[in-house]
Amino acid sequence: MMTAQPPVMTSALPDARGYFGEFGGRFVPETLVPALDELIAAFESARHDPAFQRRFADLQATYTGRPTPLTYAARLSDYLGGARIYLKREDLAHTGAHKINNALGQALLAERMGKRRIVAETGAGQHGVATATVCALLGMECHVYMGSVDMARQRPNVFRMKLLGAEVIPVESGSRTLKDAINEAIRDWVTNVTTTHYLLGSALGPHPYPLIVREFQSVIGVEARAQILAQAGRLPDACIACVGGGSNSIGLFHAFRDDEDVDLIGVEAGGRGIATGEHAARFADSARGRPGVLHGTRSFVLQDADGQITDTHSISAGLDYASVGPEHAYLRQIERAFYTVATDDEALAAFQLLSQLEGIIPALESAHAIAEAIKRAPTMPRDAILLINLSGRGDKDLDTVISALGGES
Amino acid sequence: MSQATRTQTGLDALAAMFARTRAEGRAAFLPYYPVGYPTVEASLEAIQAMAAVGVDGFEIGIPFSDPLADGPTIQAATQVALRNGVTVRRCLEAVRELRARGVHQPMLLMGYLNPVLAYGPDAFARDARAAGADGLIIPDLPPEEADLLAAACAREGLALIFFLAPTSTDARIRLVAERTRGFIYVVSVTGVTGARAALPPGLGDFLARVRAQTDCPRVVGFGISGPEQARAMSGLAEGFIVGSALVRAGGQGVGTVRDLAAQIKAAIGRK
Ligand SMILES: Cc1ncc(COP(=O)(O)O)c(C=O)c1O
């Protein structure tokens, strides 16, 4: 068993300039530099402030509903006939996804900085809902930018945000998805920076966001690691999570970073297949996925030969993004984590299988992680363990799934 | 009309420009215009026409898919440019073409970082200079991330312009003043590009705060849209940039751009 703590490998990163190796940094218009400095200062002081930590922990327990359970997926494991599959149930967190962990933490930071106007972007709508929720909780003003394509495919979440008192602003530029929503949110932030906090929803963007989001999401892995030790008596052979911007995955991986025998596997959106070009697989598409700078950070970016950002496709709005958090680019480079893809069809099949065998309807994003487990478990012995992050629930996706399945199922 | 020929390049060309405008007791007028809007040829003609009315220099816009420091006017224009097939290479060719057509004023290439990285910082600086450009302005590149490009520009004698904004602290002002090469781009407002009706009230104080830290020329941009604001700039700063208003005019035809540039030019005094 793992007893001695091996030397800390990644938690010393990012460095003071926000770099994970050659990835990360802070590529923003000058107007935003002081706001990022202020955010770093607020985060560092909050981190060492027991009162802040107590308040955060208390809300996590009494409002978010943490710890979320770890569920042994007995029927799915039997059906696949290989490794035993455990599900970390972020779908059971308040608002139905892991996004609330980060939204709550950042909203408390905004309060600490005296900023009561919040802007956010959202793809699947889960981050927007989580942000609208914490703004309602703390009495803050909330504006959420969302691509009009995503508004159409995540209608229930648009309604939820409005019900929670947020303004939802449709974004009509570019591909009208997550990337364009981030552009608009940043433009709003640049304009209103003295009164406004940008509550970025994933482990991407300029330093310190990748650090802050990881720290607020790392509760997933901290809980899951203790739970699997308690329930299975040992660490898993692999942790698997879907990777959009990379927050639920980094949140799971971080606690296992020094457990060298635990494989860390991220699953990108394979869309209609890598060969079709219609996907959001920054790592898997070696032609278009290259290091570059988008939204303030240097990471892998889907781009054409001229450095223009290319359109992406995924059946899941939350994975439909042209870049990926810089720490993932680093973990992949040092071969601590490995990245694979699941296609739309594989995610849809996983969505149905988990619903039928476990009575759990996963978010389409999370279904990508399940799809990898479906491929991998049968190749593993029965005493092997896979720990899957079930990052969210699938209610928001019913429209999409109904039309994708053409009324079957 | 100014018949000056191009005897200096890069940083020297900018220094000569400021020496002349200072001698004339006025601010330098630098239009921004993107290559490819509404077509490549029309953009070249617009820039030529502005050169002919005697503007002092140019920012030549390189379009990018995700222009997050730009407001609706420049966003829309640069998306048109991309649909017209404009690439970084095409922008460099445009500069070469403009030089061939007799545009002698300093030209700074303005674009977002990723296309420059994709081209390769060293190759970009080399080819920009060879094409006849005098420097670079990259809004998503703060000085602490700029080492690679700064070295490439220094090798080629090119300007590399950094920004200050109303949110900048005195420490940032000192850092930017130390690292910028050519001038300091002073963003007039917290916000994105776009024509605005009036200059922001705090601008004079902010410019004075910058002056207290550095002698570097200050060029004000974002939101300056017409002759009135331009006239006000001559007492306040060493130069100013007009973007969205000229781009909007460009959508109506070369004549409209020329007229607006001529009005602004007339407002700031003699040629
Ligand atoms: C349920 C769920 N899982 C995963 C994601 C992907 O984001 P990330 O990679 O940041 O976890 C989203 C994003 O909206 C989501 O809603």
Closest CA to A347 of A336, A359, A339, A355: A355
Residue type, B166: P
Burial of A39 (0-12, 13-18, 19+ CB in 10 A): buried
pLDDT band at B2 (very low <50, low <70, confident <90, very high): very low
Long-range contacts of B249-256 (CB under 8 A, 24+ apart): B250/B33, B250/B37, B250/B38, B250/B42, B250/B43, B250/B46, B250/B77, B251/B37, B251/B38, B251/B77, B254/B42, B254/B45, B254/B46, B254/B49, B255/B49
Our answer on whether the CB atom of A243 is closer than 6 Å to any ligand 1 atom is: yes
Burial of A383 (0-12, 13-18, 19+ CB in 10 A): exposed
Chains A & B: contacts with CB separation below 8 Å: 114
User: CA A153, CA A157: separation in Å to the nearest integer?
Assistant: 9
Q: Is-catalytic flag, A346?
A: no
User: CA A204, CA A213: separation in Å to the nearest integer?
Assistant: 8
Q: What is the pLDDT of residues B71-128, one digit of tens each?
A: 999 999 999 999 999 999 999 999 999 999 999 999 999 999 999 999 999 999 999 9
Our answer on whether the CB atom of A363 is closer than 6 Å to any ligand 1 atom is: yes
User: CA A68, CA A252: separation in Å to the nearest integer?
Assistant: 13
Contact A183 B68 (CB under 8 A): yes
Output the tens digit of pLDDT for each of chain A's 409 residues: 333 443 334 468 999 999 999 999 999 999 999 999 999 999 999 999 999 999 999 999 999 999 999 999 999 999 999 999 999 999 999 999 999 999 999 999 999 999 999 999 999 899 999 999 999 999 999 999 999 999 998 999 999 999 999 999 999 988 899 999 999 999 999 999 999 999 999 999 999 999 999 999 999 999 999 999 999 999 999 999 999 999 999 999 999 999 999 999 999 999 999 999 999 999 999 999 999 999 999 999 999 999 999 999 999 999 999 999 999 999 999 999 999 999 999 999 999 999 999 999 999 999 999 999 999 999 999 999 999 999 999 999 999 999 999 865 5
- The vertex-A54 CA angle with A49 and A58, nearest 5°, equals 155
Q: What is the DSSP string of A126-169?
A: HHHHHHHHHHHHHT-EEEEEEEHHHHHHTHHHHHHHHHTT-EEE
Closest CA to A308 of B211, B74, B69, B114: B114
- Predicted pLDDT at A2: 39
CB < 8 Å to B191, chain A = 31, 190-191
Cα(A276) to centroid(ligand 1), Å: 23
ipTM above 0.90, yes or no: yes
pLDDT band at B4 (very low <50, low <70, confident <90, very high): low
CB A250 within 8 A of CB A393: no
φ, ψ at A320 (rounded to 5°) = -90, 70
Contact B167 A35 (CB under 8 A): yes
Residue type, B139: P
Return the H-helix or E-strand segment holding A20. strand A19-20
Q: What is the pLDDT of residues B23-60, one digit of tens each?
A: 999 999 999 999 999 999 999 999 999 999 999 999 99
**Ligand 1 atom 1: residue of nearest CA:** A392
Q: Is-catalytic flag, A179?
A: no
Q: Is the pLDDT of residue B5 over 80?
A: no
User: CA A159, CA A145: separation in Å to the nearest integer?
Assistant: 14
Q: What is the pLDDT of residues B132-175, one digit of tens each?
A: 999 999 999 999 999 989 999 999 999 999 999 999 999 999 99
